[in-house]
A and B are shown apart, each in its own frame.
Chain A
Amino acid sequence: DQQVKQNSPSLSVQEGRISILNCDYTNSMFDYFLWYKKYPAEGPTFLISISSIKDKNEDGRFTVFLNKSAKHLSLHIVPSQPGDSAVYFCAASETGTYKYIFGTGTRLKVLA
């Protein structure tokens, strides 16, 4: 049972444009959500997180939106840069379970 789903395996965006990566979850008890970026041969790098008490969190070029009623979150990258090309994972957690559930990832390619 895949509780966290990233339905787009890949995405290509032109440099300078907006990248939108999507993530859906099924467990309504999840209350903390994170996005990670991963380059080949490296571990995932934390990008941004959001608590379920918020619907938006910004950090520089990265903004995460949370729609609890739709059980959907998205990561916006503006403007996209070639160095953003990587695999992006969303993850979710329910406080008290000490467990993070990851999606299968979306490969973003930013074209120069």
Chain B
Amino acid sequence: KAGVTQTPRYLIKTRGQQVTLSCSPISGHRSVSWYQQTPGQGLQFLFEYFSETQRNKGNFPGRFSGRQFSNSRSEMNVSTLELGDSALYLCASAPGQPYEQYFGPGTRLTVT
């Protein structure tokens, strides 16, 4: 079974721009979560989607948004990028909860 895939793997953007990251979950997994990882902060929960519905959201500003499509693929969008948004963005999929999540390799976003 193919794992979680994320595109692109690396991205460099300028302050003020917006960015869209994509995640394809493991086949059959309907839950997709997004996390931000920065040095010393661990993985910070952004949001979780299941069957196209956002079921929970972390403590991030409204500039961070996401969506899930009917095939369970998910995208997250960050508008008006700030330098502090530079991070590794990880997507994880699961059959539901409580089950272990399986992570993709992440998208490394650098904001200059």
Task: For A44, give the chain B residue with the smallest CB separation.
Answer: B103
Interface size for chain A: under 10, 10 to 19, 20 to 34, or 35 or more residues?
20 to 34
Residues on A lying within 8 angstroms of B by beta carbon are 31-32, 34, 36, 41-46, 49, 51, 89, 91, 93, 95-105
Task: For A99, give the chain B residue with the smallest CB separation.
Answer: B56
Number of interface residues of B (CB under 8 A): 26
Any chain A CB within 8 A of the CB of B43? yes
Total of A-B residue pairs, C-beta within 8 Å: 62
Task: For B45, give the chain A residue with the smallest CB separation.
Answer: A99
In the complex, what residues of A have CB within 8 A of residue B43's CB? 44, 89, 91, 102
Structural contact, B48 and A99, CB atoms closer than 8 A: yes
Minimum CB–CB distance for B97 against chain A, Å? 6
Structural contact, B97 and A98, CB atoms closer than 8 A: yes
Structural contact, B105 and A97, CB atoms closer than 8 A: no
A43 to B105, CA, bound (A): 4
Which residue, A41, A46, A100, has most C-beta atoms of chain B within 10 A?
A100
Any chain A CB within 8 A of the CB of B25? no
